[in-house]
């Protein structure tokens, strides 16, 4: 089962406060969406509706913008987010193999979340740490000089 | 009070990820413990450049460079070097070039061959302190400009310097400023394009993290020159450290009156705001970037009208890249003639490159234009590691192409790289060796552009997808010779008919590899073999006569497909082999080959 988005009053008022600030600036939609993504972890339809009302922008346009950018998501992500860098420097040093290993070991397709909502596997764009290639991150932690062996170790640790 | 000694710790993203924050804290506690905290200062700087060997620590005076410093080494450095003045030999940076230990930073070939203009303060100052920037002549250029020059004189000076856009296009910066200056409007904007999206490139991140004020100062100079009072920095959300430091820097500059209203009592007002990108590569294109700030899908539009005429919110706008801006204050401090004297006739100044891939010294370097690729790769970069043979260097990211060994003596500048079928791009430089399959590399870049194509124009949206289908077929062993001709035809068509720079350059990686490595494509198509051993369906591993019988490959094979005796030549059973490549990685003498017999290419 996917974990559901938790829309609490507290989080809603946080979003409203952010919108109050951004409304006064030119081009308020992007900063507002960044805030929403940060507060809720994703921007599902109910949130888009709220933003639409508040900023007076059609929901179709908001949906278009949300789905255009890779940074925004409509569905909640897993509890643990595994991102494998597929920048060129990492790729030529074998990061595709690392991504495949995660996909196999976590039993999840790239870009998807496991059924139990525990893991999201992402292929990420270059994060600019090319000197440590190939690299991947689990939540905030960075693993440098990655290898299939390291993947096995990390997965084991995450699952336990 | 003047500090007796300074300990500089690299706080660039990569060193931070390998613990440099904790190392700084440990230095501080150790200094306190020995009662040295008062007259010795620890400073977290921007990126030093030698990223693969971090975290780095430099100690002044003496400029002693320690690399790969671990938490447990800190006590030894403090007790031996700081307290007793004896450098810790064990931790000194060891050069790959002649196995000598290097005591100080400027002695290193990696640093000695560089000329740092855009990176002048990176790794030298504490980017969190505006006073350190000011001590290095920071904001002096802005003062001179506001007090002694007219906007037209400013533009004239930038034009004279010959500075060209460092984001990849190479358009003369002064001319761009002049266009924006000529427009008559109640409101104009300056935008700094910090949406550094090329995979394998991190030059702009280093500047923003290591020297954020140089960009702010240059944006204010630009604002004065074109008549704008507001600037936006459009930065990738993937660079949290840079975002944080920029925000801090803007606050500091405002507090000292270096940004805001009536700067230097000149009557000139300028404010800067940050806008975060949201993970769309196409937003590096200026019209798409502008659409994104306005809150739209980041899709490019037709030019003209150029942003200088009709840009952000419909007003005249000047967009420059981070590195371009970082060069600007120096032009006013040292003069356009000085700047013009560096580099080549048509490309003056320097260029920052992010060197990555199969190279000994991965990292960031800034070299005068006109330096040859060979010098960069073999002298500054330290050559190819693991006794592998150089195959190609890729510049310009997904928009660029591959350059082969035959062209390594070409001096690097905007025009020469284009003549070679590649381009300068924003500065990513990826080195590939014999283990990289060029068909696979082309496919990798195309996968990237297919993913990042915004979908607005048909040639880019549909064309790149069809090219990718063909490349996938070739890598799977299903390709035909006709496919190669179709690739070429389709590629040239997409180049000619796409709307923006993304589509117009997307076929470059395919076209340039087709031109320089046609044999490798033919091996995939005709012989059904991938000589580099990357495309799994087309790979067979064999042990060559170089084998010394060390048994390492057999021990590392996960499926037990290798047999052989100590000191005897080993054998791989092809029917058992799962083509994981573990044997090839394990072999100390490079005796496991995927190349077909009589293969003449690299």
CATH 3.40.30.10 fits B5-108, yes or no: yes
Sign of the dihedral defined by the CA atoms of residues B7, A142, A35, B287, in that order: positive
Q: Which fold would CATH assign to domain A80-159?
A: Glutaredoxin (3.40.30)
A11-15, B233-237, B370-374, B387-391: the lowest-pLDDT one:
B387-391
Partners of A30 on chain B (C-beta within 8 Å) are 275-276, 278, 292-293, 295
Global pTM reads 0.90
C-beta separation of B97 from B385 below 8 A: no
Q: Mind listing the pLDDT tens digit for each residue in B559-571?
A: 889 999 999 999 9
pLDDT in tens, chain A (160 residues): 345 677 899 999 999 999 999 999 999 999 999 999 999 989 999 999 999 999 999 999 999 999 999 889 998 888 899 999 998 888 988 899 899 999 999 999 998 999 888 999 999 888 778 888 899 999 878 888 888 889 999 999 988 8
Q: pLDDT at position B98, please?
A: 44
Instruction: For residue B55, say if its preceding peptide bond is cis, omega within 30 degrees of 0.
Output: yes
Question: For residue B401, which phi and psi values (nearest 5 degrees)?
Answer: -140, -175
B215 versus B33: the higher-pLDDT residue is B215
Question: For residue A151, which phi and psi values (nearest 5 degrees)?
Answer: -60, -50
Instruction: Report whether pLDDT(B99) > 80.
Output: no
CATH 3.40.30.10 residue window(s) in chain B: 5-108
- Interacting residues of B332 by C-beta distance below 8 A, sequence separation 6+: B141, B144, B145, B157, B221
Q: pLDDT at position A1, please?
A: 39
CATH 1.20.1440.230 residue window(s) in chain B: 438-527
Q: Judge whether A126 is closer than 8 Å to chain B, CB to CB.
A: yes
Q: Which fold would CATH assign to domain B350-433?
A: Ubiquitin-like (UB roll) (3.10.20)
In what helix (H) or strand (E) does residue B584 lie, and over which residues does it extend? helix B582-586
What is the C-alpha separation between B504 and A130, in angstroms, rounded? Answer: 27
B92 versus B251: the higher-pLDDT residue is B251
Partners of A91 on chain B (C-beta within 8 Å) are 199, 444
Task: Indicate the residue of A26, A69, A128 with minimum beta-carbon distance to B202.
Answer: A128
Partners of A132 on chain B (C-beta within 8 Å) are 14, 17-18, 51-52
Closest to B14 (Cα-Cα) out of A129, A121, A72 = A129
Q: pLDDT at position B2, please?
A: 52
Instruction: Give me the architecture of the B438-527 domain, per CATH.
Output: Up-down Bundle (1.20)
Query: How many angstroms away from the CA of B131 is the closest CA of chain A?
Result: 28
Q: Mind listing the pLDDT tens digit for each residue in B579-596?
A: 878 888 888 888 999 988
Partners of B202 on chain A (C-beta within 8 Å) are 126, 128-130
Residue of B200, B203, B359 best to disrupt the A interface, most CBs of A under 10 A:
B200
Partners of A131 on chain B (C-beta within 8 Å) are 14, 50-54, 356, 362-363
Mean pLDDT of B525-545: 92
In what helix (H) or strand (E) does residue B65 lie, and over which residues does it extend? strand B64-66
Q: Mind listing the pLDDT tens digit for each residue in B283-338?
A: 999 999 999 999 999 999 999 999 999 999 999 999 999 999 999 999 999 999 99
What class, spelled out in words, does domain B540-593 have in CATH? alpha beta
Partners of A19 on chain B (C-beta within 8 Å) are none
Instruction: Report whether pLDDT(B578) > 90.
Output: no
Instruction: For residue B304, say if its preceding peptide bond is cis, omega within 30 degrees of 0.
Output: yes
Closest to B237 (Cα-Cα) out of B205, B287, B278, B296 = B278
CA angle B588–B594–B596, rounded 5-degree value: 135
Query: How many angstroms away from the CA of B84 is the closest CA of chain A?
Result: 33
Q: Which fold would CATH assign to domain B130-339?
A: Rossmann fold (3.40.50)
CB contact under 8 A, B14 and A131: yes
Strand partners, B274: B233
- Give the chain A residue nearest B276 (alpha carbons): A31
Q: Judge whether A28 is closer than 8 Å to chain B, CB to CB.
A: yes
The alpha carbon torsion through B122, B125, B126, B129 (nearest 10 deg) reads -120
Q: pLDDT at position A132, please?
A: 84
Q: pLDDT at position B101, please?
A: 64
Residue of A89, A134, A135 best to disrupt the B interface, most CBs of B under 10 A:
A89
Instruction: Report whether pLDDT(B164) > 70.
Output: yes
Task: Indicate the residue of A64, A91, A142 with minimum beta-carbon distance to B444.
Answer: A91
What is the C-alpha separation between A84 and B307, in angstroms, rounded? Answer: 36
Instruction: Return the exposure string of A98-119: e unless at least 16 CB atoms fall within 10 Å of the residue's CB, then b.
Output: bbebbbebbebeeeebbeebeb
Instruction: Report whether pLDDT(B1) > 60.
Output: no
Task: Enumerate the domain spans of chain A.
Answer: 9-68, 80-159
What is the C-alpha separation between B6 and B66, in angstroms, rounded? Answer: 14
pLDDT band at B97 (very low <50, low <70, confident <90, very high): very low
Mean pLDDT of B470-479: 96
Q: How many CB atoms lie under 10 A from the CB of residue B492?
A: 12
- Give the chain A residue nearest B394 (alpha carbons): A88
Q: pLDDT at position A139, please?
A: 87
ipTM of this model? 0.86
CB contact under 8 A, B197 and A129: no
CATH 3.30.70.20 residue window(s) in chain B: 540-593
Partners of B357 on chain A (C-beta within 8 Å) are 88-89, 92-93, 133
- DSSP characters over B280-314: -GGGGSHHHHHHHHTTS------SSSPTTTS-GGG
Q: Tokens representing B589? A: 């003498």
The overall longest dimension of chain B from CA atoms, in Å, is 84
Partners of B293 on chain A (C-beta within 8 Å) are 27, 30
Q: pLDDT at position B198, please?
A: 85
Strands (E), B255-389: 260-263, 268-276, 317-321, 350-357, 363-368
Q: Mind listing the pLDDT tens digit for each residue in B106-157?
A: 777 788 889 999 999 998 899 999 999 999 999 999 999 999 999 999 999 9
pLDDT band at B602 (very low <50, low <70, confident <90, very high): low
Q: How many CB atoms lie under 10 A from the CB of residue B83?
A: 15
A and B: number of Cβ contacts within 8 A: 127
Mean of pLDDT over chain B:
92
pLDDT band at B102 (very low <50, low <70, confident <90, very high): low
């Amino acid at each position: 089962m996917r974990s559901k988005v938790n829309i609490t009053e507290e989080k809603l008022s946080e979003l409203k406060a952010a919108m109050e600030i951004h409304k006064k600036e030119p081009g308020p939609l992007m900063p507002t969406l960044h805030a929403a993504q940060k507060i809720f972890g994703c921007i599902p339809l109910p949130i888009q509706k709220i933003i639409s009302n508040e900023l007076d922008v059609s929901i179709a346009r908001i949906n278009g913008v949300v789905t255009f950018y890779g940074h925004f998501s409509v569905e909640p992500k897993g509890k643990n987010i595994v991102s494998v860098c597929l920048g060129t420097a990492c790729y030529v040093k074998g990061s595709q193999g690392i991504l495949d290993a995660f996909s196999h070991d976590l039993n999840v397709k790239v870009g998807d979340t496991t059924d139990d909502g525990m893991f999201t596997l992402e292929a990420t764009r270059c994060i600019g740490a090319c000197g440590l290639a190939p690299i991947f991150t689990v939540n905030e932690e960075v693993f440098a000089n990655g290898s299939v062996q390291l993947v096995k170790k990390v997965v084991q640790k995450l699952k336990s | 009070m003047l500090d007796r000694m300074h300990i500089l710790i690299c706080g660039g993203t990569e060193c931070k990820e390998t613990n440099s924050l904790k190392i700084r804290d440990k230095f501080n506690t150790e200094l306190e413990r020995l009662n040295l905290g008062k007259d010795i200062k620890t400073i977290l700087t921007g990126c030093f450049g030698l990223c693969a060997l971090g975290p780095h620590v430099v100690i002044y005076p003496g400029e002693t460079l320690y690399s790969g410093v671990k938490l447990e080494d800190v006590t030894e450095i403090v007790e031996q070097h700081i307290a007793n003045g004896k450098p810790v030999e064990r931790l000194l940076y060891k050069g790959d070039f002649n196995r000598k230990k290097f005591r100080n930073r400027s002695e290193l070939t990696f640093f000695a061959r560089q000329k740092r203009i855009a990176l002048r303060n990176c790794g030298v100052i504490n980017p969190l302190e505006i006073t350190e920037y000011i001590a290095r002549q920071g904001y002096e250029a802005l003062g001179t400009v506001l007090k002694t020059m007219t906007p037209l004189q400013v533009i004239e000076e930038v034009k004279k310097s010959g500075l060209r856009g460092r984001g990849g296009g190479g358009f003369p910066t002064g001319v761009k400023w002049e266009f924006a200056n000529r427009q008559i409007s109640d409101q104009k904007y300056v935008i700094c394009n910090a949406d550094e999206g090329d995979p394998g490139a991190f030059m702009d991140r280093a500047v923003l993290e290591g020297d954020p004020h140089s960009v702010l100062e240059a944006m204010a100079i630009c604002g004065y020159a074109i008549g704008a009072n507001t600037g936006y920095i459009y930065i990738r959300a993937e660079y949290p450290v840079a975002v944080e430091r920029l925000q801090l820097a803007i606050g500091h500059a405002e507090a000292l009156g270096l940004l805001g209203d009536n700067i230097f009592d000149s009557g000139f007002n300028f404010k800067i705001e940050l806008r975060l990108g949201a993970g769309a590569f196409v937003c590096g294109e200026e019209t798409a970037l502008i659409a994104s700030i306005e809150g739209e899908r980041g899709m490019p539009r037709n030019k003209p009208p150029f942003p200088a005429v009709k840009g952000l919110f419909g007003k005249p706008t000047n967009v420059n890249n981070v590195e371009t801006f970082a060069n600007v204050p120096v032009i006013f401090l040292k003069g356009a003639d000085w700047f013009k004297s560096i580099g080549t006739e048509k490309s003056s100044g320097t260029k920052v490159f992010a060197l990555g891939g199969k190279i000994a010294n991965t990292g960031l370097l800034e070299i005068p234009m006109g330096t040859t690729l060979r010098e960069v790769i073999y002298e500054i970069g330290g050559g190819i590691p693991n006794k592998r043979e150089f195959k190609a260097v890729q510049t310009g990211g997904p928009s660029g192409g591959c350059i082969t060994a035959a062209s390594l003596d070409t001096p690097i500048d905007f025009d020469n790289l284009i003549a070679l079928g590649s381009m300068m791009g924003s500065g990513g430089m990826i080195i590939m060796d014999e283990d990289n399959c060029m068909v696979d590399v082309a496919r990798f870049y195309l996968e990237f552009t297919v993913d990042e194509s915004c979908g607005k124009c048909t040639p880019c949206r549909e064309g790149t997808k069809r090219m990718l289908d063909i490349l996938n077929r070739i890598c799977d062993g299903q390709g035909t010779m006709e496919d190669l001709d179709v690739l070429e035809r389709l590629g040239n068509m997409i180049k000619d008919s796409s709307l923006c720079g993304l589509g117009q350059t997307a076929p470059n990686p395919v076209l340039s590899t087709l031109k320089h490595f046609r044999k490798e494509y033919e091996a995939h198509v005709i012989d059904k073999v991938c000589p580099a051993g990357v495309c799994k369906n087309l790979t067979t591993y064999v042990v060559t006569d170089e084998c010394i019988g060390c048994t390492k490959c057999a021990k590392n094979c996960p499926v037990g497909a290798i047999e052989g005796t100590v000191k005897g030549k080993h054998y791989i059973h092809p029917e058992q082999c799962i083509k994981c490549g573990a044997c090839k990685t394990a072999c100390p003498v490079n005796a496991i080959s995927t190349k077909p017999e009589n293969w003449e290419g690299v």
